[in-house]
């Protein structure tokens, strides 16, 4: 998978994307991510990329043209048009199920807005869908883009050691994950549940399933209701 990010703050994105599992996956060539500075595509001699909103009002709006030029430059490098996502508080809220679908794409282009947002006309021209990371407003689309790359990138083949790493996790099948424990077996007088030390795989599996159901019912009754309905 290749993800191109159009942003006014490429260093901010690059700093996060060079670390940990995603950073290693990029170095190993399992995931390609490129951060493009929208400012490099402005034709303004002062490198401006924003202006005041028509109709008046507070703040600045990102101009259409530098974004469009950035998009065009990326498209020229790709064998096919990427799926274009605008990170926006007005979009559909990202879920694990959507992340699984996105992880099957070959080319994605993420547009990060800033200030009051982006000139609507460029959104109409290039964007396939708007995506939110939650019903609150951030200063820019960079953190949402990083959340997206992290969530989707770890689902791509080879990025995690094994698909079971994410298939047993919270939200994969509508349940939350069971509790996890590591050494020592007793800490501050608290013992690890005996079944986990038994080596009996079938019992461990059914204990974990029960725990998943129990904690989903307790912590996220809304999620449990949906999962139960689906059967």
Q: Which residues of this protein are in contact with ligand SAM, per CB under 6 A?
A: 87-90, 112-114, 116-118, 132-134, 136-141, 144
| H-helix segments, the chain | 10-17, 20-27, 64-77, 96-102, 120-126, 142-153, 164-167, 201-219, 221-230
From the CB of residue 43, how many other CB atoms can be counted at a distance below 10 Å?
Answer: 9
Number of residues that make up the chain: 231
Q: For residues 133 and 176, what is the distance between their CA atoms, to the nearest angstrom?
A: 19
- Residue 135 C-beta: closest distance to ligand SAM, Å: 7
Q: Looking at beta carbons only, is 89 or 174 nearer to ligand SAM?
A: 89
The candidate with the shortest Cα–Cα distance to 6, out of 110, 102, 86, is 110
Smaller CB separation from ligand SAM, 5 or 175: 5
Least spacing, CB of residue 142 vs ligand SAM, in Å: 8
Return phi, psi of residue 158, to 5°.
Answer: 85, -15
| Nearest to ligand SAM of 66, 113 (CB atom) | 113
Task: Supply φ then ψ for residue 47, to 5 degrees.
Answer: 60, 30
Please say which residue, 143 or 213, places its beta carbon nearer to ligand SAM.
143
Q: Give min distance, CB of 31 to ligand SAM, in A.
A: 21
Q: Distance between CA atoms of 69 and 111, rounded to whole angstroms?
A: 12
Which lies closer to ligand SAM via its Cβ, residue 33 or residue 62?
Answer: 62
State the nearest-atom distance from the C-beta of 11 to ligand SAM, in Å.
17
Give me the least distance between CB of 70 and ligand SAM, in Å please: 14
């Amino acid at each position: 998978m290749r993800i191109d990010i159009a942003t006014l703050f490429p260093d901010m994105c690059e700093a996060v994307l060079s670390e940990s599992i995603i950073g290693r996956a990029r170095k190993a060539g399992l995931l390609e991510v490129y951060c493009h500075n929208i400012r490099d595509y402005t034709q303004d001699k002062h490198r401006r990329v924003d202006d005041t909103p028509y109709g008046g009002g507070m703040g600045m709006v990102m101009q259409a043209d530098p974004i469009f030029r950035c998009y065009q430059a990326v498209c020229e490098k790709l064998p096919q048009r990427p799926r274009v996502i605008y990170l926006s508080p007005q979009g559909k809220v990202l879920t694990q199920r959507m992340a699984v679908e996105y992880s099957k794409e070959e080319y994605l282009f993420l547009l990060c807005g800033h200030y009051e947002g982006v000139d609507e006309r460029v959104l109409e021209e290039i964007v396939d869908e708007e995506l939110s990371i939650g019903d609150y407003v951030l200063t820019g689309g960079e953190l949402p883009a990083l959340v997206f790359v992290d969530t989707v990138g770890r689902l791509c083949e080879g990025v995690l050691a094994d698909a079971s790493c994410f298939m047993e996790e919270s939200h994969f099948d509508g349940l939350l994950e069971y509790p996890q424990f590591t050494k020592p077996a007793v800490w501050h007088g608290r013992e690890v549940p005996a079944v986990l030390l038994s080596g009996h795989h079938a019992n461990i599996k059914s204990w974990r399933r029960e725990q998943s159901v129990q904690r989903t019912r307790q912590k996220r009754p809304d999620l449990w209701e949906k999962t139960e309905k689906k059967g």
